[in-house]
Structure 1
Amino acid sequence: MRWIAWCGAVILGTAQAALIEPEAATGFQAREVAWGQDYMAATANPYATEAAQAILAQGGSAVDAAITAQMVLTLTEPQSSGIGGGLFMLLWDAQAQQMVSLDGRETAPKAATPSLFMQDDATPMRWLDAVIGGRAVGTPGAVAALYQAHQRYGVLPWSTLLQPAIILAQEGFIVSPRLAKLLAAEINPGLQRPGPANRYFAPEGHWLEAGQRRTNPELAKTLTTLANAGAAGFYQGPLALRMVEAVQQDPDRPGLLTEADLAQYRAQWRKPVCTRYRRHSVCGMGPPSSGGIAVGQIMALLEPHDIKAIANDSVAFTHLYSQASRLAYADRGLYVADSDYVEVPTEALLDPAYLQRRGEALLSLTDPGQAQPGRVGGSNGADQTQPLPSTTHMVMADPQGNLLSLTSSIEMGFGSTVMVGGFLLNNQLTDFSLHPGSAPALAANRVQGGKRPRSSMAPTIVLDPQGQPSLALGSPGGSRIINYVSQMLVALLDWQLPLAEALALPRISHRNDYLLLESERSDPTLVEAMSAKGYDVKLGPLNSGVQVIQRAGKGWYGAADPRREGTALGGQMVERKSAH
């Protein structure tokens, strides 16, 4: 196959990554932890990881590798992300010795109003009605963000970076068990609608099955257009017109996207949000993502406590973590939205004095119940948002010393199910509050034309006490991403667990609603003890998908969450002798 040959030709010129066998995690198949002397890639899908590794082996940058990985994921993990969605990118710029972040979040069409999802009886649409079809489609931002990042940080030609996905789309990929399982479970009823998505995912009337080979010639054509024309090939011309027609002519819920919305879209470089934690600096995305603020709050609330001395599976830790989390989610729900449209008190929310006062709640011996937001100004109304967990994350370290953490999404599994040019369009507009609230207390995260919906995506990079990058991570998981990332930070910075052990820890989630413990992974005695403390305890799947890279001497460890299909691959650059 040409795709395998393309990757193999590159990898043969590198020293292969050494592998470290971790102890098997209970309930999970043992997952290898990769080692790379000069570079590392970890993504949610083996095809994407292999393609990214090959780009890094050629001397490509972390941004180059991420571009290639995202294009491949559009094909091989279509339920989670793709060029029809958006992303947030956090990058340590080794040359400038600074952290930068890029906002490639979708935007609401200019014609959208706060009543976008309201019905004639003054109630919001049923959520399931809102997410399927053209009405929920926002202006995609992934292609613009990746192209803009490449202009500043790219090393290899843009067209080269798209070739692995083009070849793979032409020759076919093997359908993964996860993709097949999600199709069989019919997690998105919209795929049953007649149209391109149904024909692609259910050829001959049956859902794709694990092990099948699937080509996508339409996507190959689309990516070829982008390879030749750059981002302009997506936001202008025939492809843009096809997207607009598909959204506006959706047979069930027509949307508002226009050619002008696409042509005017711009990704935004924004100031990262960084919080001190035990001499480290934990950096993430600022608004419109709530990830950086909420993760920062959780870590700051935990810092006064000797977490290292507390067992990771104990009642004491579960209680402290749950209390810190409920406070962060309370503030997130009221204050965080697109700061280009509403005032977000980011500094006030992360002020040490404010968090010290909020942290007094962690001293309670029982669960006080739902937390109220702190008072940092503003008169926002209640928010009604239900972000879903179909997202992807990747991390990259390149030979030049750059470190990248990138989270991207199309929102619900398989997005809006509107398919154009071989890819799915997002339904990210349902990340806005479906009910706008009432004056004067309007929801900060209400729909407005051109506005970016609030997100929980939390790409994170940690700087060590010397100000150098030591850790990059992130996860899919909807609004629970914040919990997954902050729990991993505790595992790595406080307990200093090996990557495999940290990834296998039973997940804990509290979004200021109830305590959710990972089913089949949590000790029954913990459930009983937390119930005795007054918690509303539930058991359920906490299907995190953390990808992580960690500095180890002069090289990098890389690993992927054993709950999903991700992999990590690293390597060492080989000096090429000049010809004589």
Structure 2
Amino acid sequence: MLQRTLLALALVVVAPVAAHAAPPMVSAADPRAAAAGVEMLKKGGTAADAAVAMMLALGVVEPAHSGIGGGGFMVYYDARTGKLSSYDAREAAPAAADPRWFFGDDGKAMPVRQAVPGGRSVGVPGELRLMETAHAEHGRLAWKALFGPATKLARDGWAITPRFNNFLTRMPATGFFNDWAKSYLYTPDGQAKPVGTVVKNPELAALYDAIAKRGPDYFYVGPPAQTLVATVNGAARNPSKMTTGDLASYQVRERPPVCGAYRGYRICGMGPPASGAITVLLILRQLERFDMAGLGKDSPVAWHLFAESSRLAYADRDAWIADPDYVQVPVEGLLASDYVARRSALISPDVTMASVTAGMPAGAPAFKAAEPQPEHGTSSLTAVDRWGNVAQVTVTIESVFGSGQSMHGLFLNNELTDFNLTPDKGGFLTANRVEGGKRPRSSMSPLIVFDPAGKVRLSIGAAGGSTIIAQVAKALIGVIDWKLTAQDAISMGLLYAPRPGGVAEKGTHIEAMLPALTALGERLSVAPLGLKANAIEWRDGGWAGAADPRSEGVSMTIDGAVIKPAAAALQKDRPSE
């Protein structure tokens, strides 16, 4: 039933539509990754080729956030056929996992901070299989060619940036990292290596070389698989029960995209276990009855409405979305017009809801919501090639530096803490509980937006844990309702309200609205937010890139020109994404 529903939702973009013809472009969270993507485009590669090269490079220069020790999602638009594909490379729990996977000796669920370090939080990585699938189905260049820029960075060295140094300074080097990681990232006296220090990773370069020559199976069934299993099962803290069979059996799942309409635009993204597309669509569609354009970006009422819609959408996300191979996800019911209308009717422009609970969409099983877990170590990228093909990718190792476990020069994810560590609530099993082979729910929201004529208008994604959903929804309102450029929409401040209360982003126009928002019943704190988004949009007859000024991300054209956003009034130093 779910598969038929998702296919029906996606059919609108399957019919071929004439693609935009313009010079290609990339946008990524680090300029060195963007350069790797441009190199592939110059060689005649597709958006998929560029995306793989950027993913590999990010694994070198952003090891705190991504790498082949983690997983991700890709949404891909084939301009020739008009087909939209979405690939689920979310990390999977070992077959031995059960709902009490994160219970301690006292018979209770561990606190998240206790569950993250060590081996048990590590899911079977999927990012390399995602690269393999994208290249096989959409690539043009030789597999080995995609590894060139990243391998060179790992072997010859890369300079530590201010942002990366900031992460190192805040991390507990003792007790979290092994000896290799400490020597790689810190000075002998335990201090974070200074900005500008060139660090080399010959182990990762050698691993990349081997995978480039032998293919991804080398990682999943060769010696690295044995090393990975030994690492997580032999961890000093929270040892796992992963097997080499868990790695050998891992597969990327092609999921039918989830699509929905907002003011004549068609917005498409990943289906479950990704919650991003559904939740973004709920936020937007619940707001469609309000004149967001007339209110404008400087209206406290507009941001109050955004916060209220967010709370309702996040409540439904937490209650109903999980791995569809294990639980019944009521996608059709959540996006049904009558259900959206009922939820929207709870929103008032004058007052704030006293409480927020999940709704009861058609097809909902007997689940209860549980508190979502934090998710921070993530990166985003997008590419458009000369043929108009579009790749939008979000990759992650979960928390900053994942589980802290490393092998062969890469860090391993702690993705399994995205499950509900307590499997039941109020006498009901939660949808997102741990089960063997299951993939945890994710906030990642890689989206491709089509204009009313059916052409690609925008490709966008973000990093920042559960803020990802709010970041992307905010940017889409900025582009569609407030007619902002993608760059300006991404740069706008954020009101993040996944539940009662919320956060007004410090140093932005949202903070300045606090008195007016308080008068509407909002009870907000003020804090910096770890935001990081990237986009490419079609504007004024060509592609225009966008990157978050809060990050070190850039857009880059085919001739290598770097488009670096101005920091504007936003703070430069942010918490971890």
Would the TM-score normalized by the shorter structure come out above 0.5? Answer: yes
Do 2:176 and 2:404's aligned partners in 1 also have CA atoms closer than 8 Å? no
Asked if 1:336 is matched to 2:321, the reply is yes
Q: CA deviation at 1:439?
A: 8.4
Instruction: Please name the residue that 1:269 is paired with.
Output: 254
Instruction: Please name the residue that 1:28 is paired with.
Output: none
Task: Name the SS of the counterpart of 1:96 in structure 2.
Answer: coil
Per-residue CA deviations over 1:407-465 (Å, capped at 9, x if unaligned) read 00000001011110100000000000010006861010000000000000000100111
Instruction: Please name the residue that 1:520 is paired with.
Output: 507
Find the aligned partners of 1:189 and 1:167 in 2 and give their Cα distance.
27
Task: Name the SS of the counterpart of 1:103 in structure 2.
Answer: strand
Per-residue CA deviations over 1:2-35 (Å, capped at 9, x if unaligned) read xxxxxxxxxxxxxxxxxxxxxxxxxxxxxxxxxx
Find the aligned partners of 1:513 and 1:407 in 2 and give their Cα distance.
28
- 1:331 partner letter: D
Q: CA deviation at 1:392?
A: 0.3
Instruction: Please name the residue that 2:185 is paired with.
Output: 201
Instruction: Please name the residue that 1:492 is paired with.
Output: 479
Find the aligned partners of 2:397 and 2:23 in 1 and give their Cα distance.
32
Find the aligned partners of 2:119 and 2:259 in 1 and give their Cα distance.
37
Per-residue CA deviations over 1:385-422 (Å, capped at 9, x if unaligned) read 31222200001001111011100000000101111010
Instruction: Please name the residue that 2:296 is paired with.
Output: 311
Comparing 307-316 and 152-161, the one that deviates more? 307-316
Find the aligned partners of 1:439 and 1:303 in 2 and give their Cα distance.
34
Asked if 1:509 is matched to 2:466, the reply is no
Q: Write out aligned runs for 1:119-518 (5 A).
A: 119-186=104-171, 192-204=176-188, 205-363=190-348, 365-376=350-361, 377-437=364-424, 441-518=428-505
- 1:114 partner letter: P
Instruction: Please name the residue that 2:569 is paired with.
Output: none
- 1:196 partner letter: W
Per-residue CA deviations over 1:274-311 (Å, capped at 9, x if unaligned) read 01011110111110011011001011111111111112
Find the aligned partners of 1:163 and 1:561 in 2 and give their Cα distance.
27
Per-residue CA deviations over 1:72-92 (Å, capped at 9, x if unaligned) read 111101111111000000011
Segments of structure 1 that go 5 or more residues without pairing to the other structure are 1-35, 574-580
Instruction: Please name the residue that 1:539 is paired with.
Output: 526
Per-residue CA deviations over 1:194-240 (Å, capped at 9, x if unaligned) read 43222221242332221010110000011011101111011011111
Q: CA deviation at 1:104?
A: 0.5
Q: CA deviation at 1:145?
A: 1.1
Q: CA deviation at 1:512?
A: 1.4
Do 1:133 and 1:190's aligned partners in 2 also have CA atoms closer than 8 Å? no
Per-residue CA deviations over 1:515-568 (Å, capped at 9, x if unaligned) read 211112135552122222222211111231110100125420001000000010
Per-residue CA deviations over 1:90-130 (Å, capped at 9, x if unaligned) read 01111220211000000000000000112243421121110
Do 2:304 and 2:522's aligned partners in 1 also have CA atoms closer than 8 Å? no
- 2:185 partner letter: F
Instruction: Please name the residue that 1:20 is paired with.
Output: none
Instruction: Please name the residue that 1:9 is paired with.
Output: none
- 1:198 partner letter: K
Q: CA deviation at 1:571?
A: 2.6
Q: RMSD value over aligned CA atoms?
A: 1.7
Task: Name the SS of the counterpart of 2:92 in structure 1.
Answer: coil
- 1:155 partner letter: R
Task: Name the SS of the counterpart of 1:483 in structure 2.
Answer: helix
Equivalent residue for 2:539, pick from 542, 552, 560: 552
552 and 382 in structure 1: CA distance in 2 versus 1, 3 angstrom threshold? closer
Per-residue CA deviations over 1:40-69 (Å, capped at 9, x if unaligned) read 100000100011111112110111011111
Find the aligned partners of 1:195 and 1:380 in 2 and give their Cα distance.
43
Do 1:166 and 1:220's aligned partners in 2 also have CA atoms closer than 8 Å? yes
Per-residue CA deviations over 1:124-171 (Å, capped at 9, x if unaligned) read 112111011101000000001110111110100010000111111111
Instruction: Please name the residue that 1:5 is paired with.
Output: none
Asked if 1:92 is matched to 2:77, the reply is yes
Instruction: Please name the residue that 2:9 is paired with.
Output: none
Task: Name the SS of the counterpart of 1:452 in structure 2.
Answer: coil
- 1:386 partner letter: Q
Find the aligned partners of 2:420 and 2:511 in 1 and give their Cα distance.
36
Asked if 1:529 is matched to 2:516, the reply is yes
- 2:495 partner letter: I
Q: CA deviation at 1:270?
A: 0.5
Do 2:347 and 2:353's aligned partners in 1 also have CA atoms closer than 8 Å? no
Do 1:37 and 1:570's aligned partners in 2 also have CA atoms closer than 8 Å? no
Find the aligned partners of 2:357 and 2:543 in 1 and give their Cα distance.
41
Find the aligned partners of 2:378 and 2:64 in 1 and give their Cα distance.
8
Equivalent residue for 1:53, pick from 34, 38, 47: 38
Comparing 203-212 and 336-345, the one that deviates more? 203-212
Task: Name the SS of the counterpart of 1:135 in structure 2.
Answer: coil
279 and 191 in structure 1: CA distance in 2 versus 1, 3 angstrom threshold? farther
Instruction: Please name the residue that 2:574 is paired with.
Output: none
Do 1:38 and 1:572's aligned partners in 2 also have CA atoms closer than 8 Å? no
Do 1:385 and 1:434's aligned partners in 2 also have CA atoms closer than 8 Å? no
- 2:304 partner letter: H
Per-residue CA deviations over 1:293-348 (Å, capped at 9, x if unaligned) read 10010111111111111121221101110111001001001000000000000010
Aligned length: 538
Do 1:336 and 1:454's aligned partners in 2 also have CA atoms closer than 8 Å? yes
Find the aligned partners of 2:512 and 2:253 in 1 and give their Cα distance.
48
Instruction: Please name the residue that 2:49 is paired with.
Output: 64
Task: Name the SS of the counterpart of 1:283 in structure 2.
Answer: strand
Do 2:265 and 2:451's aligned partners in 1 also have CA atoms closer than 8 Å? yes
- 1:518 partner letter: E
Find the aligned partners of 1:400 and 1:67 in 2 and give their Cα distance.
17
Do 1:191 and 1:198's aligned partners in 2 also have CA atoms closer than 8 Å? no
Find the aligned partners of 1:145 and 1:570 in 2 and give their Cα distance.
25
478 and 252 in structure 1: CA distance in 2 versus 1, 3 angstrom threshold? same
Instruction: Please name the residue that 2:573 is paired with.
Output: none
Instruction: Please name the residue that 1:104 is paired with.
Output: 89
Segments of structure 2 that go 5 or more residues without pairing to the other structure are 1-20, 561-577
- 1:103 partner letter: D
Per-residue CA deviations over 1:234-265 (Å, capped at 9, x if unaligned) read 10111111101000000122112210000000
Find the aligned partners of 1:189 and 1:300 in 2 and give their Cα distance.
45
Find the aligned partners of 2:250 and 2:551 in 1 and give their Cα distance.
33
Equivalent residue for 1:41, pick from 22, 26, 30: 26
Do 2:261 and 2:267's aligned partners in 1 also have CA atoms closer than 8 Å? yes
Task: Name the SS of the counterpart of 2:95 in structure 1.
Answer: coil
Do 2:495 and 2:510's aligned partners in 1 also have CA atoms closer than 8 Å? no
Q: TM-score scaled to structure 2, two decimals? A: 0.91
Q: TM-score scaled to structure 1, two decimals? A: 0.90
